[in-house]
Amino acid sequence: MELWPAVDILEGRAVRLFQGDFAQKHDYGDPLDRARALVDDGAERLHVVDLDAAREGSGRNRSIIAAIASAVAVPIEASGGVRQDRDIDELLGAGVARVVLGTAALEDPDFLARAAERHPQRVVLGLDYRQGDDGELEAASRGWLRVSGRTVHAVLAEAAPLPLAAVVVTAIERDGTLRGPDVGGLADLLAATELPLVASGGVGDREDLVALAALRGPPPGRALAGVIVGTALLNESMTISEATEACARSG
């Protein structure tokens, strides 16, 4: 299970949101400094999110993402506001290893399919979800501000044939809370798709990572492909080396 330390960017600053609420944020300073510090501490890859772009659709922080990709010698996964071919081309051209499509994938599935075929294994589907009153996992869009009207299971079934690098699934209600990942929901999603899944939201300590690394789904032995960790690393609840070691365990 790969560790993807997160750097979320809002108005040019590295931040973490609580449950996806833009009004509840903690500032962690300059995003380029944060990215360099994570890599210096041993991060082997980074998940970078442009929150302004996710909310508004504008790539106002794209120059910062390009600067991070240029400054660190690890793969960068970029997310937020990727809604046109030119957004993908710009990010890949800036040195980003793979690009996450969230809102655009939900609102225009054909665009996701075209992007994946055009850039095989370099496009990631981003599925941010909340649990509905009926227990269904409902996909959200527009920077977590809008419910898409589609279930995560339906989106995964539609995306199954595509040459995607991965699917990032984020439990919005746990994101930034440190209260633990949605293990039950992730186990259900592992059983629902054979696409590589990357978990996001709620990781608070190394035991959470050990629990995620131990998850298995059909076919027998299939595990999560990775996990995104933000707050727990930024506030030093655990180190990169501790997190990496936990991700390598199988329970």
Which residues neighbour 213 within 8 Å (Cβ) at sequence distance 6 or greater?
A: 1, 223, 224, 246, 247, 248, 249, 250, 251
Among residues 87, 128, 175, 208, the one annotated as catalytic is 128
Phi-psi map region of 224: left, alpha, beta (phi>0 left; psi -120 to 50 alpha): beta
Is 182 one of the catalytic residues? no
For residue 176, give both structure tokens.
């930034």
Among residues 8, 87, 175, 182, the one annotated as catalytic is 8
CA 245 – CA 161 distance, rounded (Å): 33
Is 8 one of the catalytic residues? yes
CA 39 – CA 41 distance, rounded (Å): 5
Which residues neighbour 242 within 8 Å (Cβ) at sequence distance 6 or greater?
A: 206
Q: Let me know: does 97 contact 131? Beta carbons within 8 Å.
A: no
CA 225 – CA 143 distance, rounded (Å): 24
CA 5 – CA 240 distance, rounded (Å): 8
Catalytic residues: 8, 128
